[in-house]
Structure 1
Amino acid sequence: MVRIGYTMMTEQRDPCGLVDDLVLAERAGFDFSVISDHYFPWLASQGHSPNAWAVLGAAAQATRRIPLMTYVTCPTMRYHPAVVAQQAATVQLLSEGRFRLGLGSGENLNEHVIGCGWPVAAVRQEMLAEAAGIIRELFGGGVISRRGKHFQVESARLWDLPDPPPPIGIAVSGPRSCALAGRLADYVIAVEPKQSLVEGFTRNGGDGRSAVGQLPLCFDHDRDAALARAHEQFRWFAGGWKVNADLPSPDAFAAASAFVRPEDVAKAIPCGDRVSEVAEGVGKFIAAGFTEVALVQVGGDSQSAFIDWARDRLLPALREL
């Protein structure tokens, strides 16, 4: 049976609201949760972007059952991998073993703030592989020093080390990242229901491991209101990840998505209150081989209504898939 998750989307909610919503999601019966890790929202209309790791610390203490996960953290520029290892170990301890560390190669939108430029995709993948190795080594205990191609580590050690350490997942979008994830990851992450991504992960060493997808939706009993909100806040998705990884600001995303129509959004994001449309979207991930799907409710102020609907109607239907 597929596991259904809840997304704390930092781009559309203040930190206290994110934690409050997660408490409701846990009570409603979601199987796990994920959180985005951004410095900027995709679009100014979303209006938020608190620090994900501070939110995770609060969330770990406010909940008791629901698993936590970054979806995803970039451990190469804004954060040094040694710092990510310490953050992840701390959240694993605070949550008493409920945390998974999802990693990705990042977006210019969030990483440009440190002023070091934005590498090409091949270099970003190299950096991610090296960073994941550092994190894994630190999770193993002991003191490490390393002079790598992209990172230096000098006498680093995690003094508060969880047992077991957090599982590491890697986000994929094509053959190169699938090969990387198959070699280095405990599970794979993707936002598109493509069978080729799961197969690429499996073929490169990920056989039998979990695959975590994510599906945006916009619940509202008024479908027109849902569609308008999805278009206002989520039309940025239309550029695809090769474009989205390189755009530097919310203004750039607004310009790039200026000609995305509400009907274009409706084709990609279930809008309204029809359970069957969400089930169809989740079903595409299941058919592609995903074992877990995190749902993203579009609209920060609509979370409690969505969670109530999910508890009463959506989750029971999805359990039957």
Structure 2
Amino acid sequence: MKFGFFCPHEQHAPSTLLDHAELAENVGFDSVWTSDHFHPWWHSGAHCGAAWPWLGTALERTDKVEFATGVTPPIARYHPGLLTQWTATLNAMHPGRFRVTFATGEAMNEEPLGYEWPDYPERRARLVDACRIYDRLVTGEFASYDGHYWSLDDARLYTVPEERPPLYVAGNGVHTAEVAGRYADGFLTLADVETYENELVPALEAGAADAGRDPDEISRTKQLTVSYDEEYAAAVESAEFWSGTVAVDFDDAVSDPREIERQGRALDGDDWTDEWGVVTDDFADVERVVDEHENAGFDEIEFLSSSPSQATFAEKAAERLF
């Protein structure tokens, strides 16, 4: 089992996240993941730095820890050809240390920039275009592609790494899991174990079978949301920043962080803490959830920690899990 540490641009300033990335490497995490949003999931006290310039700096500031986006939606603001170029460049400079994760995204990334927020079938079709474009360009050969939404016209990447950078696809439903099975080197999900085992794994395997791929070669990662502190009330208070992710569904056309925060604050505390993740004053609760996901067949746990002290959480994880 590998363990990742999430650096959320929504909750911390970019310079602070660089310190967190160094902390994660120093205590022994295998990977550092980072969000890629235009707007955050909260308004009060929020940040929202740009992921891609931060990644270049973070890779230089560290020595061996792997990095990944969690997630990058190729829906409107990003052409997938550019995402492939950025991924190839980072891996050419830091071989084997970066993977990009495509997904169907949220309205907060598109609407504030004047783009439409299409419904899920349209976003899924654009995701498929993006995966196909990635596969063509990452080879370093000339490629053309006449897609549903995204296209290429005799395009070539002139800087590519020696080995293919892994492409991950993130999703919580069967249709995106099927796309991951067809195209991805790895699959990231927030889904609970029951949904993962009963719905997502069969879809992932079906997609792989249709594409003539071995599903066992697709790495499986779970993003586990955690807020840990020896004082339970402090853990709850720190995690409230993310209550908007419970109030607003990823498919909802809500892009204003003020509205997301309003809906999050309107939730009953017990309701959102039960649904959001592990909010605890006992690290054994974290260990039990990790064991549950390892038994379900996940290869990696990526922790989005909203703990009052990231250093305390990271050091406790290293002590109890690694």
TM-score, length of structure 1 as denominator length: 0.91
CA distance in 2: counterparts of 1:72 and 1:174, whole angstroms: 15
- Contact 1:217/1:297 (CA < 8 Å) preserved in 2? yes
Matched, 1:274 2:282: yes
1:239–1:283 distance in 2 versus 1, CA, 3 Å: farther
Structure 1 SS opposite 2:163: coil
1:43–1:30 distance in 2 versus 1, CA, 3 Å: same
CA distance in 2: counterparts of 1:77 and 1:264, whole angstroms: 34
Residue of structure 1 aligned with 2:205, choices 188, 202, 206? 202
Structure 2 SS opposite 1:126: helix
- Contact 2:112/2:255 (CA < 8 Å) preserved in 1? no
- Contact 1:144/1:155 (CA < 8 Å) preserved in 2? yes
1:80-105: CA deviation from partner (whole Å, max 9, x where unpaired): 11110111111112322111111101
1:41-96: CA deviation from partner (whole Å, max 9, x where unpaired): 10113511111111111111111121111111112311111110111111112322
Match of 1:251 in 2: 258
1:13 Cα deviation from its structure 2 partner: 1.3
Q: How many correspondences in the alignment?
A: 311
1:201-242: CA deviation from partner (whole Å, max 9, x where unpaired): 1232152121111111112222111111212x0112224645
Q: Pairwise mapping of residues 127-166 of structure 1 onto structure 2 (< 5 A)?
A: 127-166=126-165
CA distance in 2: counterparts of 1:180 and 1:174, whole angstroms: 10
Match of 2:315 in 1: 308
Bigger CA drift: 14-23 or 90-99? 90-99
- Contact 2:248/2:263 (CA < 8 Å) preserved in 1? no
Match of 1:26 in 2: 25
CA distance in 2: counterparts of 1:225 and 1:154, whole angstroms: 54
- Contact 1:60/1:94 (CA < 8 Å) preserved in 2? no
Match of 2:55 in 1: 56
- Contact 1:270/1:278 (CA < 8 Å) preserved in 2? yes
Matched, 1:297 2:305: yes
1:163-214: CA deviation from partner (whole Å, max 9, x where unpaired): 1121111112222112111111111110113212133212321521211111
Structure 1 segments of 4+ aligned residues over 6 angstroms from their partners: none
CA distance in 1: counterparts of 2:136 and 2:123, whole angstroms: 20
Bigger CA drift: 183-192 or 286-295? 286-295
CA distance in 2: counterparts of 1:259 and 1:76, whole angstroms: 30
1:153 Cα deviation from its structure 2 partner: 2.3
1:115 Cα deviation from its structure 2 partner: 1.2
Q: Pairwise mapping of residues 68-217 of structure 1 onto structure 2 (< 5 A)?
A: 68-193=67-192, 194-195=196-197, 196-205=199-208, 207-208=215-216, 209-217=218-226
1:286 Cα deviation from its structure 2 partner: 2.5
- Contact 1:57/1:94 (CA < 8 Å) preserved in 2? no
CA distance in 2: counterparts of 1:260 and 1:141, whole angstroms: 50
CA distance in 2: counterparts of 1:86 and 1:95, whole angstroms: 14
CA distance in 2: counterparts of 1:172 and 1:37, whole angstroms: 15
Match of 1:237 in 2: 245
1:261–1:203 distance in 2 versus 1, CA, 3 Å: same
- Contact 1:11/1:46 (CA < 8 Å) preserved in 2? no
Instruction: Tell me which amino acid in the other structure corresponds to 1:219.
Output: Y
CA distance in 2: counterparts of 1:14 and 1:279, whole angstroms: 29
Residue of structure 2 aligned with 1:262, choices 269, 286, 305? 269
Match of 2:211 in 1: none
Bigger CA drift: 276-285 or 113-122? 276-285
1:254 Cα deviation from its structure 2 partner: 2.0
CA distance in 2: counterparts of 1:40 and 1:248, whole angstroms: 7
1:244-271: CA deviation from partner (whole Å, max 9, x where unpaired): x532221221233233222223324322
Mark the runs of 5 or more structure 2 residues left unpaired by the alignment: 209-213
1:146 Cα deviation from its structure 2 partner: 3.0
CA distance in 2: counterparts of 1:242 and 1:18, whole angstroms: 24
